Structure 1
Amino acid sequence: MQFIVNIDVEDMGKAITFYEYGLGLQLIRRLFDGTVAEMGGGPASIYLIEQPNASVAAPDTSLQRDYRRHWTPVHLDFIVEDIDAAVEQAVSVGAVQEGGIKSFDWGRLATMSDPFGNGFCLLVFAEGGYDHAE
C-alpha cells in the first residue's frame, strides 16, 4: 500500500520554505497553477495545498479553515538524528516549540507546530527505538 499526506496551508511560498528549510524536505513539483506543491524526502510524498484562511473546510459544514494553532487527531512525526539541531532549524523558519524536549526509554521527543497551526513532532530514537518502550 502507498499513501500520501496532504497539509492545508495559507501561503504556499512560506509553506515551501518552511518544509524545505525547517524540516529538510525537497520541492518535487508544483501542480494546479501553483496551488499544490509536492514535497519529497521521506517515505511518502507530502502535498501542501494552498487554501485561503476562513474558507470552508469540509463540504456541507460551516467549518472554516483557521491557521492559528489548532488540534487535529492526525499529525506527522519526523524522525531526526539530532533533535536539538532539528528543533533549532524548524524554529528558525517559523515553527513553534511547544514545551521542552522530553526524554523516554525509546528516545527524545519535541512537540511542535508549523507556521499554519498544524502540529507535528520531531523525535530521535534511542537504540532499539519503540522496542524499549515501557
Structure 2
Amino acid sequence: MQFIVNIDVEEIGKAISFYESGLGLQLIRRLFGDTVAEMGGGPAPIYLIEQPDASAAAPGTSLQRDYKRHWTPVHLDFIVEDINAAVTQAVSAGAALEGEITSFAWGKLAGMSDPFGNGFCLLAFADRGYDHAK
C-alpha cells in the first residue's frame, strides 16, 4: 500500500517556503491553478492544499477551518539527524517549538507547529531507535 499526505494551508506560497526552508522538502510541481503544491523529499509525497480561513472543514457540518494552533489526532513526525539544528532551521522558517526538546531511551523529540497551526514532531533516533522502547 502507498499513501500520500495532505495538509491544508491558508497561503500556498508561504507554505511552500516554510516546508522547503523549514523542513528541507522540495517543490515537485504545482497543480490545480497553483492551489496545490506537491512536495517531495520524504517517503511519501506531501500535498499542500490552499484552503481559505473559515471555509467549511467538511461537508454537512458547521465546522470551519482555523489556522490558529489546533489539535488533531493525526500529525507528522519528521526524522532528523541533528535535532538542535533541525529545530533552529524550522523555527527560523516560521515554526513554533512547543516546549523543550525531550530525551528518551530511543532518542529525542521536539513538539512543533507550522505557521498554519498544524502540529508536527521532529525526532532524532538513538542508535537502536524504537527498539529501546519496551
Which TM-score applies when normalising by structure 1? Answer: 0.99
Question: Structure 1: 5+ residue runs without aligned partners?
Answer: none
What's the offset of the Cα at 1:41?
Answer: 0.2
Deviations 1:22-44 (A, max 9, x none): 00000000000000000000000
Give the match's secondary structure for 1:127: coil
Amino acid in structure 2 at the alignment position of 1:70: H
| Residue of structure 2 in register with 1:29 after alignment | 29
**C-alpha separation between the residues in 1 aligned to 2:52 and 2:109?**
31
**C-alpha separation between the residues in 2 aligned to 1:126 and 1:58?**
40
Amino acid in structure 2 at the alignment position of 1:37: A
Which aligned pairs between 1:37-76 and structure 2 lie closer than 5 A?
A: 37-76=37-76
Question: Structure 2: 5+ residue runs without aligned partners?
Answer: none
| Aligned-residue RMSD, C-alpha | 0.4
Which TM-score applies when normalising by structure 2? Answer: 0.99
Give the match's secondary structure for 1:16: helix
Amino acid in structure 2 at the alignment position of 1:92: S
**C-alpha separation between the residues in 2 aligned to 1:105 and 1:133?**
7
| Residue of structure 2 in register with 1:133 after alignment | 133
Counting matched residue pairs gives 134
Give the match's secondary structure for 1:29: strand
1:15 aligns with 2:15: yes
**C-alpha separation between the residues in 1 aligned to 2:89 and 2:58?**
33
